[in-house]
Structure formats: C-alpha cells, structure tokens
A and B are shown apart, each in its own frame.
Chain A
C-alpha cells in the first residue's frame, strides 16, 4: 500500500481553480513532486521542490505544503490539463521513493 494518499478523482469546471492533495507522514520532512500523465504517455514532471516548475510548464501550475499534506493547484484549468496526477516523495525512512495512488482530473 502507498504511504502517500491521494483522492482517486477530482473534477473542475473549465477556467476554474482546482487543488489536488497528497497526504503522508513523510511530507513533514520532504517536499512532494508532482507528475502529469496523459493516456499512453510517460509521466511529466510539473512541480518539484518547494514550488518549482520545470521549463515549459505553464505558471497556472503551483505547489504548496502544510504539515503532512502537499497540494498541487491549477489556477484556471484548461481542457489540456485533463490527466492523471501523481505525487511522489521519499518514505519515512528516507531510503525509498514512493508514489501516491494518483488522482484522475476531469475538466468539465
């Protein structure tokens, strides 16, 4: 079982703001990274560290953290943001990586 917990599915109206959360004890010690995965494609990094976006990722994507919860926020969701989103961090020991179960985002 995953040590990082995500809601299985979230929906958002086009142009609105959505927050996808990831919970786990290890997030008190480590930042989460976030990945977008569209059908048939490899995951793509969208947020890493405290709140950093790789080159080419739109600035409507942002990350935050509080206590044992990390959040990915999409401000002004677009149709192309419909995808699965996964969080990742180290486990409580720090010796292993772990992924959340993933959140399927639907843009209505």
Chain B
C-alpha cells in the first residue's frame, strides 16, 4: 500500500523559504493520481495548499499562489513544497497526501505530518 513521509526543517526564519519533501513508497508517483500538500495551524482547521500531477501540472490555493511552488521528482518518487516569504502565520503541521480524482476527489493516504515553526 502507498505510504507517504514528509521531511524537512522544523524551524524556518521569518521572510525565509519553507521547503518540504514528501517521499512516496509502495507505489509510483507516476500513477494516475494527484499529489497534494495540506496544512493545519495549531488548533485550527485544514487548509489545502496545492497539488501536482506527475506531468508537472499544478493547481494552487489562490490565497497562497504567489508564494507556493510544488514540484515532482519522478526519479526519486517524491514531490516537494516551497513556500516563500514566510511569517508566523505559516506555522503549521504540513501534511502530504495522495489525491484521487474521479468524478469528485478525495485524499488517501496522508503522511504523518511535520510541524514547521516560523520564528527567529
């Protein structure tokens, strides 16, 4: 079964760039699925950040679009998130997830999540 694992720095300085990677195991990132990033600020709800297809096609949350880049590395079976010009408001648990898109969409499975704190 497909499993996802996030990795990256847990602390990022304000105005810096948050960089995370999601390693996919048990399946190919080139399968007919999208791959997404979702975040959750402490004590708050889920926020979709964006998604990528193995072809490189992307969709981003309009509220974050100017700061977000999602990329895919098929040779390593992983995809990545970069979020620039971060502030304390970007402090959150960041999850990666496989997104299955049929007539509608759903996310399964999810990675365990990684907490990223923005602080000097």
Q: Which A residues have a C-beta under 8 Å from some C-beta of B?
A: 2, 30-33, 35, 37, 42-45, 48-49, 54, 86, 88-90, 95-102
Contact = CB atoms under 8 A, between A and B. Distances in A.
Given A42-B111, A42-B112, A43-B110, A97 B45 contact: no
Contact of A49 (B59, B102, B112): B102
Contact of B46 (A32, A44, A54, A99): A99
B104 A86 contact: no
Interface in B8-49: 36, 38, 45-48
Interface string B90-106: 00000100011011111
13 contacts: A30-B105, A33-B106, A33-B107, A42-B113, A43-B110, A45-B106, A45-B108, A95-B59, A96-B60, A97-B51, A98-B48, A99-B38, A101-B45
B46 A49 contact: no
Nearest to A43: B110
Interface residues of B, number: 26
A101 to B, nearest CB: 5
Given A86-B45, A97-B36, A99-B46, A42 B107 contact: no
A45 B62 contact: no
Given A33-B107, A45-B109, 15 more contacts: A2-B45, A30-B103, A35-B46, A43-B110, A44-B110, A48-B108, A49-B103, A49-B104, A49-B106, A86-B45, A90-B104, A96-B48, A96-B59, A101-B45, A102-B45
